[in-house]
Amino acid sequence: MNAVEKRISARLSLRYPQHEALNVLSHVLDNIELSKNTDLAADLEAIKNLYPSVQDFERDFPSFCFALATGVGKTRLMGAFISYLYLTDRSRHFFILAPNLTIYEKLKQDFNPQSSKYVFSGMNEFVANRPVIVTGEDYESGRGIHSHEQKFRGQGRLFENSDTIFINIFNISKINTTDNKKSAAKSSVPRIKRLQETIGESYFDYLANLPDLVLLMDEAHRYRASAGASAINELKPVLGIELTATPKTIGAKPVDFKNVVYGYSLAEAMRDGFVKEPAVATRKDFQSQNYTLEQLEHIKLQDAIHAHEKVKADLIVYAKDYNKKLVKPFILVVAQDTEHAQKLRNLLEADDFFAGAYKGKVIEIHSKQSNTEEDKNIQKLVAIENPNEPTEIVIHVNKLKEGWDVTNLYTIVPLRASASEILTEQTIGRGLRLPYGCKTGVEAIDRLTIIAHDRFQDIIDRANDPNSIIKKHIEIGGGGDIPCKKSDILTVPSRAETESIKTTVTYNFDINGASDLQDVMLHDAVPSLFISEEKKIADVAWDIIKGYEKLPSSQLLNSVAIQEKISNEVMESINLSKESLALDTGNTETLVKKVVVNLTEKIAELTIDIPNIMLIPSREVTYGFSDFDLENLEILNLQPVSKELLIRELRTHKSIFLISENKYIKEPYLENYIIRGLIDHDFIDYDSHTPLLRKLASQMVQHFQSYLPNDAAVENVLIHYQHKLNTFIVDQLRAHQWETKKDYEVKVTRGFTTLTPIHYTLPQGTSPLDFRRIPSIKSDIKTFVFKGFAKCCYPLQKFDSVEGELRFSQILEDDVRVLKWMKPARGFFKIEYDKGFTYEPDFVVETKDAKYLCEPKKASEMQNPIVLKKRNAAVQWCYHATHYATTHGGKPWYYVLIPHDEIKANSSFEGLCAEFTIS
């Protein structure tokens, strides 16, 4: 990878497949010359040797298809391609083609610097020298030609006069449209091809005559029809770049593209976590043949609502827990025709469908709507990611296709569709994008649910096909993955907070968190520590105490000096806001001191001091290669090429230098031709690995010398096939690479943390259960909230399992050695066990003489590689936490990993620790 690629990848934060695609484009450009007079046959032959998947350009110019799965980021990649072509001085004129109005409008927005999705965000080169964007609406103004001059020398040269970059964005219909201005003479000539007196030619001809025009085709499968292909060829670009998720022609008999140079499939994107995981849902033991078509549709729509409400609640909780933007999910219903769509809307907005909850929240999108109605619904569609936009259900009739890129589609209901239709990427692809850009670890948020009761078995049967998109299935109803009851959101403060300043749990029914709030008294709550004016003071003091979390321990809050400092800060805050607090100023100072003493004692009593230790595996690594010999050299039976082809290769290779058209700098040793290419790779340090690299290069040279007539022929092969030979060696180097991480980096930012509220979902109409009560259906455990704890730092808790977590909480409550415990809120811990992945232990426990991170785990998963990585990171965390705590007079920390089947009613916490503590 060259320096420009590295810079673009870093600045644009390219994902792995985008990074790889850019690298492929770089290699392609190193092996062909961008020119109006290029030899297509020679170019194709050169590319075939590098990328055998390219069998034909399928255009009148070199054109390459990059087939990236939906949701991976084709538009960002487009920005990377343009940046690379510009920064390597190959082009400054680009023409981006959109297949329809939706994508056209989206592209214009994505190339707008004011957009949050601006494709060049991070590219400093385009800040002062902002690209000129020309569209189908303003090209006639001449903005695309004002700075153009014919002195641009093309590939490999600097621009002599202007380095302004021009990006034309057009809808394909604009190329062929013959629309005429009012009062103008009618013409059958497409408007873009009509003479413009300001430039002496049509804008189309102007573009076609540019020496460096590069054409980028979004959703490239839309441009294989004869009319579209003809118009594209007439533009005469020096390079074509095609982007699509489906590299095949459309129609009854689709044909695969022959110019795919790079592919990254949906299966790969799902494997690497770049998109949601599709899952087909049904009811347990559902028999679709027992229902009429209308009844079946009604049931599917009801279950879609259940899935929708479940993920809506989960998204609210996630946003609250991690302080993230709120995502409003919606349902996509695929109707058979416009009449069917209207009937569905009437059903969904009826008073007897979930009590009319979705009235005014449903829109239809289809071709038979009036222009006014369609425009209105399109505006709603564009704004559907806005949490304040009310639409929660979209009904469409084959109109939402490519370009409708939203991240908050979570439920799809294909009605009257076959399994093969449901399984297509076109159907599922609209909902695959992740709202937070990566997986969250919350299954419902990382999943796209397809409601397909009547096609469930067929889809499951097809899941065994390696090419199947859907591999997972879920159940709706009691004991299943999706409950049939709508959920409330509970905001649960810690006991330190509920026993001092807030004695209620908040139930929130509104997705915006802005209305319809209800405070519900905790029945088991201890009477509040403060009353009337004291509570107002305690509210102020609580926020100020958070500023003392850098103390080594919360116990230091009980020191007279610290309490005095806090009291002074509280008084200062009160004096600045007396009117809003409405306090009786006569005894304020005495009251403040009393409140601060009581509040700090309560916080110290009900807080487990957990140091905020940032434990991060070092990004610096030591690495190298084990000694080895090249294998499979016999498959390399390469032959010399003609002098003309060799010179062409020399002209495009940056690692070999031409002196003149037919002369080049010869290397003193044949091995150097190989080594020159190898050292371009980031992970190969020549100085550290010289002996091995020279040995491998020598083995390759000796192989060619064994069957070629002389060293000139060997040199010819080494030059012409340099990229292929480098790849051959690099693949084997990677197989013999070793890497050793340095120790963990440690950073302690706080000695303790005042516990923030946690957030739970609870089915409407239900109440928290006593934690001694075991649910009759154990698989429903995740839907319940439990109460009745004496030692837990929170008044309410949720558990993921009965035999593991719930029974473990009972053991903790019964063990006399245990002082307090909690299940930490999500995001509380930052124990990084792998690059970019953090571990959050299930329990934190404090006894009279120690503290523990505890993880009840399925017995079958105890040796899971991820579990072991988390274990190792947690042990390291405990080591550093112990060092920090004992330095300040605190307790040591230990990590306990417990098989679930060892957690029994007669177990003691001491006994479990004795057997399962990891040292």
Residue type, 164: T
CA distance 625 to 684: 9
Confidence of residue 451 (pLDDT cuts 50, 70, 90): confident
Tokens 């990254």, residue? 264
Strand 851-857, strand 843-847: pairing = antiparallel
Q: How far is CA 86 from CA 92, 120, 140, 154, 620, in A?
A: 5, 12, 25, 11, 33
Q: How far is CA 781 from CA 109, 398, 441, 483, 861, in A?
A: 46, 40, 19, 12, 20
Number of C-beta neighbours around residue 442 at 10 A: 16
For the segment 161-185, the average pLDDT, to the nearest whole number, is 73
- Tell me whether residue 830 is in a domain: no
Q: Are residues 400 and 322 in the same domain?
A: yes
The mean predicted confidence, pLDDT, of the chain is: 83
Of 210, 231, 264, at which residue does a domain stop? 264
Q: Is the dihedral of CA 403, 409, 410, 416 positive or negative?
A: negative
Cβ neighbors of 277 (< 8 A, separation 6 or more) are: 270, 446, 447, 448, 471, 472
CA distance 711 to 535: 91
Structural element, H or E, at residue 594? helix 588-605
Q: Are residues 98 and 247 in the same domain?
A: yes
Q: Kindly state the DSSP code that residue 721 receives in the 8-state scheme.
A: T
The string of pLDDT tens digits covering residues 772-814 is: 999 888 888 988 999 999 999 999 999 999 999 999 999 999 9
Q: Report pLDDT for 481.
A: 79
- What is the CA angle 94-99-105, rounded to 5? 75
The SS3 assignment for 11 reads: helix
Structure tokens at 919: 């040292």
For the segment 560-568, the average pLDDT, to the nearest whole number, is 94
- What is the CA angle 148-149-150, rounded to 5? 130
Structural element, H or E, at residue 196? strand 195-196
The SS3 assignment for 328 reads: coil
Q: Report pLDDT for 304.
A: 93
Q: Which of 349-363, 663-677, 766-780 has the lowest mean pLDDT?
A: 663-677
Q: Report pLDDT for 393.
A: 95
CA distance 230 to 775: 68
Structure tokens at 326: 């709120």
Helices (H), 235-292: 266-271
CB 536 within 8 A of CB 574: no
CB 402 within 8 A of CB 372: no
- Which of 832, 877, 833, 871 is closest to 855 using CA atoms? 871
- Tell me whether residue 684 is in a domain: yes
- Tell me whether residue 497 is in a domain: no
Confidence of residue 75 (pLDDT cuts 50, 70, 90): very high
CB 41 within 8 A of CB 293: no
| Own/partner pairs, 690-696, CB within 8 angstroms, 24+ separation | 692/625, 692/627, 695/629, 696/629, 696/630, 696/729, 696/732, 696/733
CA distance 894 to 882: 8
Q: Report pLDDT for 105.
A: 86
Of 441, 476, 511, at which residue does a domain stop? 476
Q: Are residues 257 and 192 in the same domain?
A: yes
Q: Report pLDDT for 743.
A: 63
Confidence of residue 153 (pLDDT cuts 50, 70, 90): very low
Confidence of residue 515 (pLDDT cuts 50, 70, 90): very low
Cβ neighbors of 718 (< 8 A, separation 6 or more) are: 670, 673, 674, 701, 704, 725
Q: Is the pLDDT of residue 424 over 70?
A: no
Q: How far is CA 336 from CA 333, 341, 374, in A?
A: 10, 7, 18
- Tell me whether residue 862 is in a domain: no
Q: Are residues 415 and 302 in the same domain?
A: yes
DSSP string, 339-364: HHHHHHHHHHTSTTSGGGTTTT-EEE
- Which of 740, 510, 487 is closest to 625 using CA atoms? 740
Strand 612-617, strand 744-750: pairing = antiparallel
For the segment 596-612, the average pLDDT, to the nearest whole number, is 93
Confidence of residue 223 (pLDDT cuts 50, 70, 90): confident
Confidence of residue 21 (pLDDT cuts 50, 70, 90): very high
Q: Is the pLDDT of residue 656 over 60?
A: no
- Which position has the higher pLDDT, 685 or 773? 773
Tokens 């009160």, residue? 574
Q: Are residues 16 and 138 in the same domain?
A: yes
Q: Report pLDDT for 654.
A: 41
For the segment 170-174, the average pLDDT, to the nearest whole number, is 82
Q: Is the dihedral of CA 766, 767, 768, 770 positive or negative?
A: negative
Range from 267-271, 464-468, 868-872 that averages highest in pLDDT? 868-872
Q: Are residues 252 and 278 in the same domain?
A: no
For the segment 414-433, the average pLDDT, to the nearest whole number, is 68
- Tell me whether residue 90 is in a domain: yes
CA distance 850 to 125: 56
Q: Is the pLDDT of residue 405 over 80?
A: no
The domain total for the chain is 4
We report the CATH number of the domain holding residue 341 as 3.40.50.300
Q: Report pLDDT for 608.
A: 95
- Tell me whether residue 753 is in a domain: no
Q: Which of 228-242, 679-693, 703-717, 887-901 has the lowest mean pLDDT?
A: 679-693
Q: Report pLDDT for 707.
A: 94
Confidence of residue 848 (pLDDT cuts 50, 70, 90): very high
Structure tokens at 343: 């009937």
Q: Are residues 455 and 307 in the same domain?
A: yes
- Which position has the higher pLDDT, 489 or 187? 489
CA distance 512 to 12: 32
Classify residue 267 by burial, with Cβ atoms within 10 Å: 0-12, 13-18, 19+. middle
Confidence of residue 466 (pLDDT cuts 50, 70, 90): low
Q: Which of 64-73, 381-390, 410-419 has the lowest mean pLDDT?
A: 410-419
CB 762 within 8 A of CB 768: yes
Q: Is the pLDDT of residue 156 over 60?
A: no
Q: Which of 2-16, 133-147, 204-218, 439-453 has the lowest mean pLDDT?
A: 133-147
CA distance 387 to 513: 11
Q: Are residues 256 and 278 in the same domain?
A: no
Tokens 């990677």, residue? 734
Number of C-beta neighbours around residue 23 at 10 A: 16
The SS3 assignment for 145 reads: coil
Q: Return phi, psi of residue 689, to 5°.
A: -125, 25
No. of helices (H) and no. of strands (E), the chain = 29, 35
CA distance 24 to 33: 15
- Tell me whether residue 781 is in a domain: no
CA distance 896 to 662: 72
- Tell me whether residue 501 is in a domain: no
Q: Report pLDDT for 858.
A: 92
CA distance 783 to 480: 10
- Which of 594, 549, 602, 604 is closest to 570 using CA atoms? 594
Q: Is the pLDDT of residue 427 over 80?
A: no
CA distance 883 to 829: 18
Range from 161-170, 712-721, 773-782, 791-800 that averages highest in pLDDT? 791-800
Q: Report pLDDT for 664.
A: 52
Cβ neighbors of 834 (< 8 A, separation 6 or more) are: 617, 869
Of 264, 283, 308, at which residue does a domain stop? 264
Q: Return phi, psi of residue 494, to 5°.
A: -70, 165
For the segment 885-891, the average pLDDT, to the nearest whole number, is 93
Confidence of residue 457 (pLDDT cuts 50, 70, 90): low
The SS3 assignment for 526 reads: coil
DSSP string, 649-701: HHHH-SSS-EEETTEEPPPSSTHHHHHHHHTTSTT--HHHHHHHHHHHHHHHH
Q: Which of 475-479, 571-575, 694-698, 849-853 has the lowest mean pLDDT?
A: 475-479
Q: Is the pLDDT of residue 521 over 70?
A: no
Confidence of residue 347 (pLDDT cuts 50, 70, 90): very high
Q: Are residues 237 and 329 in the same domain?
A: no
Q: Is the pLDDT of residue 334 over 70?
A: yes
CA distance 204 to 104: 18
CA distance 224 to 247: 11
- Which position has the higher pLDDT, 615 or 78? 78
Q: Are residues 573 and 458 in the same domain?
A: no
The SS3 assignment for 455 reads: helix
Angle, helices 40-50 vs 722-735, to 10°: value is 20
DSSP string, 71-138: TS-HHHHHHHHHHHHHHTTS-SEEEEEESSHHHHHHHHHHT-TTSTT-TTTT-THHHHSPPEEEETTT
CA distance 316 to 769: 23
Whole-model pTM? 0.73
Q: Is the pLDDT of residue 646 over 80?
A: no
Q: Report pLDDT for 169.
A: 94
Q: Which of 370-374, 492-496, 532-536 has the lowest mean pLDDT?
A: 370-374
Cβ neighbors of 456 (< 8 A, separation 6 or more) are: 280, 282, 286, 288, 473
Q: Report pLDDT for 701.
A: 95
Q: Report pLDDT for 752.
A: 92
Buried b / exposed e over 655-694, threshold 16 CB at 10 Å, is: bbeeeeeeebeebeebbbbbbbbbeeeeebeeeebeebbb
Q: Are residues 420 and 543 in the same domain?
A: no
Q: Are residues 280 and 217 in the same domain?
A: no
Task: Determine the structural domain holding residue 40 and report its residue range.
Answer: 3-264
